[in-house]
Amino acid sequence: MNTSNLINEIIKRRKASKDNDFNYYNSIAEDHIRAQREPLSNCIKKAKGTSIISEIKPASPTLGEIRRDLNIISIVNQMERAAVIGLSILTEPNYFKGSYENLKLAVDNSHLPCLLKDFIIDEIQLKIAQKLGATNVLLINSIIDISKFYPICLDYGLEPLIEIHAIEEIRDLEHLIEIGFRPTLVGVNNRDLKSLKIDLNHSIEIIPKLKNIFGSEVKVVSESGIKTREQIKYVQASGADAYLIGSSIMQSRNIFQKIKELRGNQ
């Protein structure tokens, strides 16, 4: 799959920072608590009402700085009180201004599943995710070999959220099954990686095909571009099980109230 020059640049810089990741891993004094924390797919299955995975996203390449008052503990508490089913924490430092410390704070100050969201290109990132107590990690199918990384995630006790952007990528998910691994969590990104434009019809087109091929056991998350309750209802018609929402929540003056609105005040 073609990716934009920006995505290639992000990946290039991520690879160049591997030494920093190794140094951070070696600096972690002890494992953080993941006990009694179920992975995202289990929480989606048990959820009542709209399942939102709320993202801690300080910045993005398209929007620049999203939120200045980054009191992570306060943000996590608001998200948890608003009944999100999980947290997604950006750890990419250069373009999204994320950090492993934000993930650590999220894990230490909530009981929710925590997704390490980054451009995973090396096993050291998975080691950090495990040691910090994350339950899930993002695997972007178009930039890595998921048949290699998926089993490594399982070895570390991490549930992968496999992100796809096009119908053609479903074949890679089928290949996972052929080699003995059945995906439990798939994300459909509504952002085109080549143009970086958002179109919710990505979910409308792809999710029914995923459901038809893999059945209801695979939980499907619609990612990117969702700002309103009406958009959630639109995407829900495709069979989406959950919604990963970052920018519109982080831009809101009242995170708690924004999430309640997105959930239909459930």
Active-site residue set: 55, 57, 117, 163, 189, 223-224
3-class SS at 35?
coil
Name the nearest CA neighbour of 104 among 119, 89, 121: 89
3-class SS at 18?
helix
Q: How would DSSP label each residue in 96-143?
A: S---HHHHHHHHHT-SS-EEEES---SHHHHHHHHHHT-SEEEEETTT
Name the nearest CA neighbour of 61 among 100, 21, 7: 7
Q: What counts of helices (H) and strands (E) characterise the chain?
A: 12, 10
Q: Distance (Å, rounded) from C-alpha 132 to C-alpha 30? A: 8
8 Å CB contact between 135 and 42: no
Phi, psi of 116 (to 5 degrees): -80, 115
Q: Distance (Å, rounded) from C-alpha 109 to C-alpha 80? A: 10
At which residue do the structure tokens 């925590």 appear?
A: 114
Report which secondary-structure segment, H or E, holds 242: strand 242-245
